[in-house]
Chains A and B, each alone.
Chain A
Amino acid sequence: MNARPLAQMSRFNIATLAMGLAFLYLPIVVLVIYSFNASQLVTVWGGWSLRWYQSFFNDQAMLAAAAMSLRVAAVSATLATVLGTLAAVALTRGERFKGRTLFSGMLYAPLVMPEVITGLSLLLLFVALGAERGFWTVTIAHTTLTMCFVTVIVQSRLGGLDRSLEEAAMDLGCNPVRAFVAVTLPLIAPAIAAGWMLAFTLSLDDLVIASFTTGPGSATLPIRIYSEVRLGVKPEINAICSLIVGSIAILIVAASLASKLSSGRGQNAAPM
């Protein structure tokens, strides 16, 4: 890749780039700036202040929702990572079993399925099963949602891995399970980490599926924010949202760094 310095780009290119970025990020920038607003009113600037951050950290209901969200995200991301990795291994490593194409197609369905439908169908399922809605129903719902993302990431990494590495491990005295743990797992670990972080982020984000599957007393942060906003936007919401944006940005950067790290290894480089 030959990246050109900004100075060499035409004015038109710079203008379109700036407009595109502004379209994407201006609302977020405004939100972050207004989270430091000292004024009571959301739309009136009253100078810099951290009072809304302070008020968030004193808002017990909001903090409980945030804790709930983090717990759901951590547990569902972990479950999704385990299941998604197993699915990826089955799809790339397993013998070509019957219905493999169908299985992989079905696995990707949640990627394109409207969330309302996923949420509604899960709600119907939980009601039919008589499950008490709360932490676990949201967690399970998020696991179904995010598992396919983990599978996609891990599968692409596994596909690029030389099959003979595992064979070499077996040749050197590992049984198949040990060979996987000793050789394959360390090599796909960055992809697994990236998958976990993505699943965590997606779960933290989700409003639609969570609102279908949650029960009384276990509102996640997005649900809590949404219900607060319906009563009128408090500047405190801006502070919370800024915190969420910040943490998600960190996770996304970490995830992409992890997958970049993983693609650098694994293949024997061409002979020099």
Chain B
Amino acid sequence: MANAISSTITAETGAAGSPLLRIDAVTKKFGGFTAVDGLSLDIKAGEFFALLGPSGCGKTTLLRMLAGFETPDAGQILLNGSDIAPMLPHQRPVNMMFQNYALFPHLTVRDNIAFGLKRAGLPRKEIKARVAEMVALVRLEGLEKRRPDQLSGGQRQRVALARALARRPQLLLLDEPLGALDKKLRENTQRELLELQRRLGLTFVVVTHDQEEAMTMADRIGVMNAGKLEQVATPRHLYEEPVSRWVAEFVGDINILEGQISRRDAGRLMVSVPQAGIVAAVAPQGASDSGNACVAIRPEKIRLSRRAPVSDTADGHAINRLEGAVSDIGYLGGASIYTVRLDGGAMLRASLANTARLDVDAFGVGQRVVAWFAPDDCVVLGR
């Protein structure tokens, strides 16, 4: 136990290519329900990894298996090359920050932070120094003698973080770390958490259902659905290049136009959409030239105008133009969402930034418009 504690806070990078954590074909069943289904994942040292998914997708179960509260039915969990799956929670060099913080209500802030250090059998002086270091790290000076019920939500969150970090875990697991904070506080705390992780070179695995939180903080995001990883990618890749319709629809807002691939033309796929017409989209690698497909386009990549824009004559099909009428407007402050009913019958949502305070030229409901977007902004996905 003690050698796990004394390992440095800066996680060793190890040999190139060998990840800090390797989850190998892990399966967990509860009765007849498969919570995690043959899942494999590598996490590098120093990485901020977010597990994102709807509730019930198995992300919390996966995290609890990493912490040791659940035992996998099959598969291995390798930390620095050794299988930790059969180890009990207290034997793992891994710590967890709980969703509701799980601070010990009968102990003061100081005793909460020192709890894990006392269990590790560190000398008293060392514990004192480490607690002081943690208190300073999360800026809780002056609150050491308070009990958890005398702290605000944000302060409690920081105590929980300090307590989990005090043992200098090789891997820190965070279950919805900001879920209990209000929006303003959450943004600040996000920044603090990220800065702390970078500065100390820690490896974080965060479970969250909040996409924005995952997007802003994580180096990579794993999107989970029904016990499996749908996609593992950087936030940008996840948003701009979703690998499946499910991921595209789960992450952010997106328009899906269902149709058939009619032909391939200079790196473009022409998709015939019954409810909209022919839509040109950039062909994904290894895409077939026929069959069913759907074209996905993010609302902010669609532009609206009263008249069709002048065609880029150098490339006859440079832009897609779909005509229709505005059927609904949702004002969000910074942007507005215009729902356009295309003449073919499909509904398209376009998000336009409200760049002027007094917009006399704004579209009204019923206004005839042309929705146009570049083929490069479209993603072709299987149906």
A99 lies within 8 A of chain B by Cβ: no
When distances are taken between beta carbons in the complex, the residues of chain A under 8 Å from B89 are: 167, 170-171
How far apart are B173's CB and chain A's nearest CB, in angstroms? 9
B102 lies within 8 A of chain A by Cβ: yes
A183 lies within 8 A of chain B by Cβ: yes
Are A162 and B102 within 8 A (Cβ)? yes
Mask: chain A, 143-166; 1 = CB below 8 Å from B; 0 = not: 000000000000000000010110
Interface range, A side: 20 to 34
When distances are taken between beta carbons in the complex, the residues of chain B under 8 Å from A271 are: 152-153, 156, 180-182
With A175-B90, A268-B100 in contact, do A169 and B105 touch (Cβ < 8 Å)? no
Are B148 and A268 within 8 A (Cβ)? yes
When distances are taken between beta carbons in the complex, the residues of chain A under 8 Å from B98 are: 164, 167-168
Q: Contact check: which of B100, B105, B164 meets A187 at CB < 8 Å?
A: B105
Are A167 and B102 within 8 A (Cβ)? yes
Interface residues of B in 257-310 (CB under 8 A from A): none
When distances are taken between beta carbons in the complex, the residues of chain B under 8 Å from A176 are: 88
When distances are taken between beta carbons in the complex, the residues of chain B under 8 Å from A170 are: 68-69, 88-90
When distances are taken between beta carbons in the complex, the residues of chain B under 8 Å from A186 are: 106
How far apart are A15's CB and chain B's nearest CB, in angstroms? 42
Are B167 and A173 within 8 A (Cβ)? yes
Are A174 and B105 within 8 A (Cβ)? no
Are A169 and B115 within 8 A (Cβ)? yes
B104 lies within 8 A of chain A by Cβ: yes
B101 lies within 8 A of chain A by Cβ: yes
B72 lies within 8 A of chain A by Cβ: no
Are A268 and B105 within 8 A (Cβ)? yes
Are B95 and A269 within 8 A (Cβ)? no
Interface centre among B69, B90, B103, B163 (most CB of A within 10 A): B90
Interface residues of B in 167-219 (CB under 8 A from A): 167, 180-182
A172 lies within 8 A of chain B by Cβ: yes
Docked complex Cα distance between A271 and B180 (Å)? 7
A-B contact count (CB 8 A): 85
When distances are taken between beta carbons in the complex, the residues of chain B under 8 Å from A168 are: 96, 98, 102-104, 163
Instruction: Give B181's nearest chain A residue, CB to CB.
Output: A271
B12 lies within 8 A of chain A by Cβ: no
Docked complex Cα distance between A265 and B102 (Å)? 13
How far apart are A181's CB and chain B's nearest CB, in angstroms? 12
Q: Contact check: which of A172, A266, A269 meets B163 at CB < 8 Å?
A: A172
With A174-B90, A271-B152 in contact, do A265 and B105 touch (Cβ < 8 Å)? yes
Are B116 and A164 within 8 A (Cβ)? no
When distances are taken between beta carbons in the complex, the residues of chain A under 8 Å from B101 are: 268
How far apart are A262's CB and chain B's nearest CB, in angstroms? 10
With A271-B181, A272-B152 in contact, do A183 and B88 touch (Cβ < 8 Å)? no
Docked complex Cα distance between A187 and B163 (Å)? 19
When distances are taken between beta carbons in the complex, the residues of chain A under 8 Å from B149 are: 265, 268-269
B365 lies within 8 A of chain A by Cβ: no
Q: Contact check: which of B105, B115, B181 meets A172 at CB < 8 Å?
A: B115
How far apart are B41's CB and chain A's nearest CB, in angstroms? 21
Docked complex Cα distance between A174 and B101 (Å)? 17
Docked complex Cα distance between A267 and B116 (Å)? 21
Instruction: Give B154's nearest chain A residue, CB to CB.
Output: A271
Instruction: Give B119's nearest chain A residue, CB to CB.
Output: A173
With A170-B89, A171-B90, A174-B119 in contact, do A164 and B102 touch (Cβ < 8 Å)? yes
Docked complex Cα distance between A186 and B89 (Å)? 22
Q: Which residues on A are within 8 Å of B, measured CB to CB?
A: 162, 164-165, 167-176, 178, 182-183, 186-187, 265-269, 271-272
Q: Which residues on B are within 8 Å of A, measured CB to CB?
A: 1, 67-69, 88-90, 94-96, 98-106, 115-116, 119-120, 148-149, 152-153, 156, 163-164, 167, 180-182
Give 14 pairs: A residue, B residue, CB < 8 Å, sorted on A.
A162-B100, A162-B102, A164-B98, A165-B104, A168-B96, A168-B163, A171-B94, A172-B95, A172-B115, A173-B120, A175-B90, A178-B119, A271-B152, A271-B181
